[in-house]
Amino acid sequence: MAERIAITGVGQTYHKSKRKDVNAPELVTEAVEAALKDAQLTMKDIDFVVSGSFEMADGQYLPDMWILPEFGGVGKPGLKLQNAGTTGGVAAGAAFNYAASGMFNNVLCVTWQKMDEGQGAFGRGGGGLSEYWQSQIPMSPITNFARRTFAYLHNSGCTEEHFAITRVKQDQCALKNPYAQLKLNTTVEKVMESMALVWPIRYLHMCPSTAGAAAFIVSPENQAKKVTRKPVWVEDWFCAHVGGAFTMAEDPTLSTLRHGCEVVYKRNGITNVLKDIQAFEVYEPCSPAELRWMEEVGVCEDWTAWKLMEQGKVGIDKEIPFNPSGGVTATNPIGATPVIRIIEAALQIRDDAGEHQVPQTVNRALATAYGGQGENVIFLLRKSL
Amino acid sequence: MTDKAVKPVVIEADSISTFQVTVGATGTKFLVEIRDNKRIMGIKCSSCGKVYVPPRSHCPTCCVKMSEWVELSGKGTLTTYTVVRYKEPYQPKEPPIIYGVIQLDGADTGIYGILGEVEPDKVKIGMRFEPVFKDEREGSLLDIDHFRPSS
Amino acid sequence: MTTAEQKQEPEFIQYKYPRTQHYWHALGYQTRAVEGFKQGKIMATKCSKCGRAMVPPRIVCPECYVEVTEWVDQGQRGKLVAAFKIGYPMYDRRTGESQVWDKPVVAVQMEGGALLDGWCSETDLDKLKPGLLLEAVWRPEEERIGAYDDVLHWKPVEK
């Protein structure tokens, strides 16, 4: 039988666009040390290490060989996972599974990205095609979201201004998060005037490139209760992947987020999403995506999220506490981003988020990872089981 | 599905990305000392006392941050080597190249180096070597042009 | 040391390097589509169950999970589905450099049903509405390599 498991320590770096003062191993060690300090453990207590990054974005192949010795991860059983956007999601899921096996006391999950070292990520996100077919028409995450956003404008009846309102809300949340990278204090006008990268996606809609790392420690029930007074229980996780679409013209609303959420809601008896879940940390790589993701997660009906955003119902202390940390549009070290979502959701449950703490008691929080053209990993965390 | 009308082909092409690697503050100090002062520096762990060359910011066994720099003479003992006899575009010199691992006096780890001023069949493990620096140095491990036999 | 010198950012060494991945892509059954591009034809596989036409061709329909054996010439004309301009210098994986892309990218639904991406000769986005009829303008035969951009661009059909 699987053990019940809980997150006992979390840690992340202060995220920046460039970190010339540290190499990748040193950057990762900052997050590991923070997580160990949070759990009041040392590397001697760790008996399994799951590591992950988006290799292609950093240009470092087999990065674990270089990075794990820096923080003492060598010689321990472990697993290295390399995806793109969902890296942190599958790494966290693997860490949860290893902890639930009951074979390990303290499982460390560490993910990172040092995007000041490569320009690969923006060119390689076309997804789904072979290297040959993909190299012909330049596609990127930005072009992918352009077609989705184009469809959202068409289907929902909202205007470009609503994407700017969403960006301002995300920015206001990020201003309260000490770890967030972009703190722009921007306005609707500035967002709407910013350069159209690929219309309707504008410069200020898109997530930044970030150098950062994030880590957490997860343990089976008995050990978790010994380590911390504030365990964050892992209720469920689900990985929903589909094959990438061949061209941008294929279904622009394709996403596994709705399907994944339906599965975990059903398994855990969630019938009223907004009542049963008190904080959401959803991987939204650009501002318009947050609107669609709100609908797919189930906090509102299809094509209505922009109305809630316009009415100011979304925010840290609002009806819908969606991405109180500022989210991915403020901070995006790709490989580590899903783990940051889990960390932020855990901090909300522990009541440790500080200035961006949701005022109501958070008994359950949802975190997701997004990648490729429609892959999603969904996590449910609980205050008590 | 086999399609007998068309003979399958294999496409050959390149996919190119440009990256830049950050050495970090600790690595930069090491390379700058080589570039500006022809000096090889190690870093010492305050917990176990091991001296690492090239330096790293954390001791991998003790997991403590290291900050005590140690100046080394540069002389050391060959612990292993190999001879590369084929040619690749990224190799810094023409083959044959003797790659050696040299444990510098005062250090607990070995450092990679190209051995020079010695014939491949005359090299023996345990031989003593010293660094020969390039005249034009740019802050790279290749600023050490090669290691030559010493007393 | 003066105050101005103290404020200078300390030196941090970085190395810049291009990394070339040379690859061999076995086209297999896709060869027929590549040969088609070289001859100025857009060849797609068509699912016998749902009728979906696919470029680049797939051998199994992702929806119906049945083997796809029928090849259909998609014709030279198609309707515009979506169009956008890349407004920033985007990285080109064929050269490793960032590049400015002047022509808009269009998604075209061919007469035969297949969807594919290409460049458009019309640079005024306001004129590129969904449903606009487009026609393929091919590169000279000797320049074709068997790929999407053997279609130099898609040109709106004059009425």
- Is B15 within 8 Å of C35 when comparing Cβ atoms? no
CA distance C127 to A325: 41
Tell me: the pLDDT tens digits for A75-91?
899 999 988 889 999 99
What lies within 8 Å, CB to CB, of A154 at 6+ separation is: none
Which chains reach chain A with 3 or more Cβ–Cβ distances below 8 angstroms?
Answer: B, C
Determine the residue of chain B that is closest to A69 in CA distance: B60
Considering only residues 35 to 64 of chain B, which have any Cβ-Cβ distance to chain A shorter than 8 Å?
56-58, 60-63
Question: Looking at residue B139, what DSSP letter applies?
Answer: S
**Domains of chain A: total:** 1
Q: CB neighbours (10 Å) of residue A367? A: 28
Eight-state DSSP code of residue C104: P
Task: Specify if C17 maps to a domain.
Answer: no
C20 and B32 within 8 Å at the Cβ level: the answer is no
**Residues 6+ away with beta carbon under 8 Å from C140:** none
For residue C1, pLDDT over 50 is answered with: no
Question: What's the Cα-to-Cα distance from A165 to each of A162, A307, A311, rounded to whole Å?
Answer: 5, 11, 10
Identify from C9, C13, C66, C144 which residue to disrupt to test chain B contact, counting B C-beta atoms within 10 A and taking the largest count: C13
| pLDDT at residue A249, as a whole number | 43
Query: Using alpha carbons only, what angle is made at residue B30 by residues B24 and B31, rounded to the nearest 5 degrees?
Result: 85
Asked if the Cβ–Cβ distance from A248 to C23 is below 8 Å, we say no
**In the predicted model, is pLDDT for residue A313 greater than 50?**
yes
Q: Which residues of chain B have a CB within 8 Å of the CB of C24? A: 10-12
Nearest to C79 by CA among C137, C127, C131: C131
Question: Per-residue pLDDT tens for A250-262?
Answer: 455 556 888 899 9
Domain of residue A28 covers 5-120+209-227
Q: Please, which residues 52-81 of chain A have a Cβ atom closer than 8 Å to chain C?
A: 59
Quick: pLDDT tens for C135-148. Answer: 999 999 999 988 88
Chains in contact with chain C (at least 3 beta-carbon pairs closer than 8 A): A, B
Comparing CA positions, the residue from A117, A170, A87, A137 lying closest to residue A377 is: A87
Query: Does residue A253 sit at the C interface (CB-CB below 8 Å)?
Result: no
pLDDT bracket for residue A334 (50, 70, 90): very high
CA–CA distance, A337 with A343 (Å, rounded to integer)? 10
pLDDT at A251: 54
Q: Is B19 on the interface with A (CB under 8 A)?
A: yes
pLDDT above 90 coverage of chain A, percent = 73
Q: How confident is the model at residue A108 (pLDDT cuts 50, 70, 90)?
A: very high
Residue type, A291: L
Domain annotation covers residue C7: no
Measured between CB atoms, does C112 come within 8 Å of chain A? no
Is C47 part of any domain? yes
Q: What mean pLDDT do residues A300-326 have?
A: 96
In 10 A of CB C125, how many CB atoms?
Answer: 14
The CA distance from C16 to the nearest CA of chain B, in Å, is: 4
Mean pLDDT, residues C6-16 taken together: 79
DSSP annotation of B27 reads H
Q: What is the pLDDT of residue A119?
A: 65
Q: How many domains is chain C built from?
A: 1
Mutation target for A interface from C29, C84, C88: give the one with most A CBs within 10 A.
C84
How close are the terminal C-alpha atoms of chain C, in Å?
A: 75
- How many Cβ pairs within 8 Å bridge chains A and C? 99
Which among A283, A275, A133 has a CA at the least distance from the CA of C93? A133
Interchain pair C117, A130: CB under 8 A: no
Confidence of residue A299 (pLDDT cuts 50, 70, 90): very high
Residue A54 included in any domain: yes
Query: Which residue range is the domain that position C75 belongs to?
Result: 24-156
Q: How far apart are CA C14 and CA B25, in angstroms?
A: 11
Residues of A in contact with B19 (CB under 8 A): 58-59, 117-120
| Residue B1, pLDDT score | 45
- How does DSSP classify residue B26? H
Helix (H, G, I), strand (E, B) or coil at C129: coil
Question: Which chain B residues touch C35 with a CB distance below 8 Å?
Answer: 6
Is the CB of residue C109 less than 8 Å away from at least one CB of chain A? yes
Cα angle vertex A254, ends A132, C130, to 5°?
80
Q: In chain B, which residues have their Cβ closer than 8 Å to the Cβ of A131?
A: 13, 15
The per-residue pLDDT for A120 is 54
Residue of B nearest to A36 (CA): B63
Among the listed residues A100, A381, A21, A32, the one whose alpha carbon sits nearest the alpha carbon of residue A230: A381
In a domain, A263, yes or no: no
Mean pLDDT of chain C: 86
Does some domain include residue C91? yes
Residue A222 domain-assigned (yes or no): yes
Any residues with CB less than 8 A from the CB of C55 and at least 6 apart, and which? A246, A247, C33, C42, C43, C44, C74, C110, C114, C115, C116
Collapsed DSSP state (helix, strand, coil) of residue B141: helix
* Mean model confidence pLDDT for chain A: 90
Contact C29 B8 (CB under 8 A): yes
Residue C2 has pLDDT above 50, yes or no: no
One-letter amino acid at A379 equals: F
Tens-binned pLDDT, residue by residue, of chain B (151 aa): 445 566 788 878 777 777 888 999 999 999 999 999 999 999 999 999 999 999 999 998 888 899 999 999 999 999 999 999 999 888 889 999 999 999 999 999 999 999 999 999 999 999 999 999 999 999 999 999 999 999 7
Q: For chain C, list residues whose CB is within 8 angstroms of any CB belonging to chain B.
A: 10-29, 31-32, 34-35, 59, 67-69, 91, 93-97, 146
Task: Output B61 or A374, whichever has higher pLDDT.
Answer: B61
| pLDDT for residue A83 | 84
pLDDT on residue A242: 64
Chain B residues closer than 8 Å to C39 by CB: none
Per residue in C65-116, pLDDT tens?
A: 899 989 999 999 999 988 888 888 777 767 767 778 888 888 889 999 888 8
A338-356: pLDDT as tens digits: 999 999 999 999 999 999 9
- The CATH code of the domain that includes A62 is 3.40.47.10
pTM: 0.89
List of chains touching B (3+ CB pairs within 8 A): A, C
CA angle, A247 then A248 then A250, to 5°: 75
Tell me the pLDDT tens digit for each residue of A31-81.
999 999 999 999 999 999 999 998 878 877 788 888 998 998 988 999 999
Q: Which of residues 4-43 of C touch A (CB under 8 A)?
A: 10, 12, 14, 19, 21, 23, 25, 27
- Is residue C14 in a domain? no
Residues of A with CB under 8 A from a CB of B: 19-26, 29, 42-43, 56, 58-60, 69-72, 74, 114, 116-120, 123-124, 131-132, 135
SS (H, E, C) chain A: CCCCEEEEEEEECCCECCCCCCCHHHHHHHHHHHHHHHHCCCHHHCCEEEEECCHHHHCCCCHHHHHHHHHCCCCCCEEEECCCCCHHHHHHHHHHHHHHCCCCCCEEEEEEEEHHHECHHHHHCCCCCCHHHHCCCCCCHHHHHHHHHHHHHHHHCCCHHHHHHHHHHHHHHHCCCCCCCCCCCCCHHHHHHCCEEECCEEHHHECCCCEEEEEEEEEEHHHHHHHCCCCEEEEEEEEECCCCCCCCCCCCCCCCHHHHHHHHHHHCCCCCHHHHCCEEECCCCEHHHHHHHHHHHCCCCCCCHHHHHHCCCECCCCCECECCCCCCCCCCCHHHHHHHHHHHHHHHHHCCCHHHCCCCCCCEEEEEEEECCCEEEEEEEECCC
User: What is the pLDDT, as a whole number, of residue A330?
Assistant: 96
Residue C30: inside a domain: yes
Interchain CB distance below 8 Å, B60 and A23: no
Own/partner contacts of C88-91, CB < 8 Å, gap of 24 or more, are C88/A195, C88/A197, C90/A122, C90/A123, C90/A138, C90/A140, C91/A119, C91/A120, C91/A122, C91/A123, C91/A138, C91/A140, C91/B17
Find out whether A152 and A302 touch, Cβ atoms under 8 Å.
no
| ipTM, two decimals | 0.86
- Subunit contact A59:B21, Cβ cutoff 8 A: yes
What distance lies between CA B75 and its chain's CA centroid? Answer: 15
Residue A245's pLDDT is what? 46
Is A67 within the bounds of a domain?
yes
